[in-house]
Amino acid sequence: MAKRQFKAESKRLLEMMINSIYTQKEIFLRELISNASDAMDKIYYKALTDDELVFNKEDYFIKVTADKEKRLLTITDTGIGMTKEELENNLGVIAKSGSLAFKSENESKDGHDIIGQFGVGFYSAFMVADEITVISKALGSDEAFKWKSKGADGYTIVTTENDTVGTEITLKIKENTEDEQYDEFLEEHRLKAIIKKYSDFIRYPIKMDVKEQRPKEGSEDELEEIVEEQTINSMVPIWRKNKNELATEDYENFYAEKHYGYDKPLKHIHISADGTVVYKAILFIPESTPFDYYTKEYEKGLELYSSGVLIMDKCSDLLPDYFSFVKGMVDSEDLSLNISREMLQHDRQLKLIAKNIKNKIKSALQSLLKDERDNYEKFYGSFGRQLKHGIYSEYGANKDVLQDLLMFNSSKEKKLVTLDEYVSGMPEDQKYIYYATGESIERIEKMPQTELVLDKGYEILYFTEDIDEFAIKMLMNYKEKEFKSVSSGDLGIEPEENENKTDEEENENKELFEHMKNLLSNKVKDVKASKRLKNHPVCLSAEGDLSIEMEKILAQMPD
């Protein structure tokens, strides 16, 4: 039989993946187990709406078997299975060309990032296997198929016999090489440890035949080896566990297992609320920006469970836009399972949960800011822009939630400061919070307009993003201090002895100024002697409230 070729792009991605240096080869097992669990969930959901289908929980399990001599590792499930077409489509195509293009632009530092990102979980098994055989029988089909592949050069599909619905995946584990160890993936204790580490809260039992030494019956000191089928995972979802039973690592594993992100989260929030609303939630503040975060493609939302059963992948009503970066899940007993999207929007319970969650996220960010400044700054580098958008949007309705979370670069010590830090550092005679807008910090530092303010010993906030000034205009003030652009006409700084001097200069140079004004007739409104310059001969200054930069942005906007 002719071998079918993987689609060309799949082949490239596959090779790239297999050849990347994976720091953790062991995650292949997590991927295969999560696919098995998904396949059983699919039957479960089908049974909810299909009266002919009965879901007996005892019938659903995953079995992991290792054969050391033959170097075979088998993962079997009683899930929904795959038809021939599904075997071809789901296991034969890795990525759409779009995601591949993205990948080549953003060559990842360690291959870890790629797994799962494009739905390539299954392929991670080629990190440890020379050859993979998948035997599957789909629910409702009376034919079974055997899919076989050695990796990048294609696969074969033949019909085969199989009595039961489900999927059996057999990996031919690679031989050890000088640099790489593969034997461990055939070791019982190692497999048990990997399952415990990554798949402990999978809702179906993950079984293994475990060898054990036992005292021989009727004998005191003789031992006999017996094989016993054991369930390795505890099956209790992590969010049902007590916080003090869990370590940061457990949360990080959950984050990876759920594919919330390919980074390590900066902070987790574990909520167990039994007040007016009863729910459990695990939320994460990611470290890095998802590649599509600042695009329309990005979908915010939390997973929503009703008594442990997933009812929605991305429930967007649970997160305000300005916290759209938060990942995680919510489980509540008070929600009905068959709840529809439309009904959810009006669900009072859900609204209460959302409000509660918003406050928890805010306090988590505040404690990050207070206690882990470096991590907060990492967070802010990734998502600060979103917070500023949040201030600007909805006519400033969210000012109070967000203003304390803002940070800007500043002229003092060249570091990020919060508005609170700025205001606390203001000398008594300083009336305004000063800011300067420009393309970059270097540019701003060269602006003549900053001279007088800096000379007074006042700090200046550096606005380098378009959104900065819009956000601040929406805030208007912070702790009763108004914001003022250094390029505004009136800086509110009392000029010192040179006040009269400028008047004199004004008069002396009247003709020159008139001449300049005529030359620049449609570019400037007026030419005046300035009170604010020391080292620079000339600067532009704005008349109204808008800075020159903001006027530029507004002028570029379509009407």
Residues found near Mg ion in the complex (CB under 5 A): 35, 121
167 annotated to a ligand binding site:
yes
Q: Using the Cα atoms of residue 435, residue 437, residue 443 and residue 446 in order, give the sign of their dihedral.
A: negative
d(Cα 397, Cα 393) in Å, to the nearest integer?
8
- The residue among 91 and 311 lying less far from ligand ADP, judged by its C-beta, is 91
C-beta separation of 167 from 36 below 8 A: yes
Please name the residue that has the structure tokens 């402990």: 200
Cβ-proximal residues to 381 (8 Å cutoff; 6+ apart), any chain: none
d(Cα 29, Cα 240) in Å, to the nearest integer?
24
What residues does 416 pair with on adjacent strands?
409
In the complex, what is the shortest distance from the CB of residue 114 to ligand ADP, in angstroms, rounded to a whole number? 12
User: How many positions of this chain bind ligand ADP (CB under 6 A)?
Assistant: 16
Q: Is 77 in the site for ligand ADP (CB under 6 A)?
A: yes
d(Cα 545, Cα 89) in Å, to the nearest integer?
59
**Structure token digits, residue 33:** 């187990």
What φ, ψ does residue 50 adopt, rounded to 5°? Answer: -110, 110
1 annotated to a ligand binding site:
no
Map the footprint of ligand ADP across residues 367-386, applying CB under 6 A.
none
Q: Is 119 in the site for ligand ADP (CB under 6 A)?
A: yes
- Helices 510-519 & 499-508, crossing angle to 10 degrees? 70
Q: Which of 17, 29, 33, 39 binds ligand ADP (CB under 6 A)?
A: 39
Q: Is 90 in the site for ligand ADP (CB under 6 A)?
A: yes
Please name the residue that has the structure tokens 């507004």: 554
117 annotated to a ligand binding site:
yes
In the complex, what is the shortest distance from the CB of residue 31 to Mg ion, in angstroms, rounded to a whole number? 5
**Structure token digits, residue 501:** 């001097």
Q: Which one of the spans 34-42, 205-213, 398-406, 479-487 is the region binding ligand ADP (CB under 6 A)? A: 34-42
Q: Which one of Mg ion, ligand ADP, none is in contact with 167 (Cβ closer than 5 to 8 A by kind)?
A: ligand ADP
- Helices 348-371 & 373-392, crossing angle to 10 degrees? 130
Q: Which one of the spans 73-81, 105-113, 461-469, 497-505 is the region binding ligand ADP (CB under 6 A)? A: 73-81
**Structure token digits, residue 71:** 């170097």
C-beta separation of 409 from 464 below 8 A: yes
In the complex, what is the shortest distance from the CB of residue 198 to Mg ion, in angstroms, rounded to a whole number? 13
203 annotated to a ligand binding site:
no
**Structure token digits, residue 90:** 């789901």
DSSP, res 488: B
Q: Is 36 in the site for ligand ADP (CB under 6 A)?
A: yes
In the complex, what is the shortest distance from the CB of residue 120 to Mg ion, in angstroms, rounded to a whole number? 8
Q: Which of 122, 291, 293, 513 binds ligand ADP (CB under 6 A)?
A: 122
Length of the chain: 559
Q: Is 265 in the site for ligand ADP (CB under 6 A)?
A: no
Distance between start and end Cα atoms, the chain: 64
- The residue among 72 and 339 lying less far from ligand ADP, judged by its C-beta, is 72
Q: Which one of ligand ADP, Mg ion, none is in contact with 79 (Cβ closer than 5 to 8 A by kind)?
A: ligand ADP
Q: Which of 6, 79, 125, 318 binds ligand ADP (CB under 6 A)?
A: 79
User: Residue 4: exposed, middle, or buried by beta-carbon count in 10 A (0-12, 13-18, 19+)?
Assistant: middle
d(Cα 55, Cα 527) in Å, to the nearest integer?
83
35 annotated to a ligand binding site:
yes
When CB distances to Mg ion are compared, the closest residue is: 121
d(Cα 170, Cα 257) in Å, to the nearest integer?
22
Q: Which one of Mg ion, ligand ADP, none is in contact with 36 (Cβ closer than 5 to 8 A by kind)?
A: ligand ADP
- The residue among 81 and 320 lying less far from ligand ADP, judged by its C-beta, is 81
Q: Which one of the spans 115-123, 198-206, 224-232, 282-290 is the region binding ligand ADP (CB under 6 A)? A: 115-123
Write out the residues near ligand ADP by the rule CB under 6 A: 31, 35-36, 39, 77, 79-82, 90-91, 119-122, 167
Q: Report the binding-site residues for ATP.
A: 31, 35, 77, 82, 90, 96-98, 117-122, 167, 341
Q: Report the binding-site residues.
A: 31, 35, 77, 82, 90, 96-98, 117-122, 167, 341
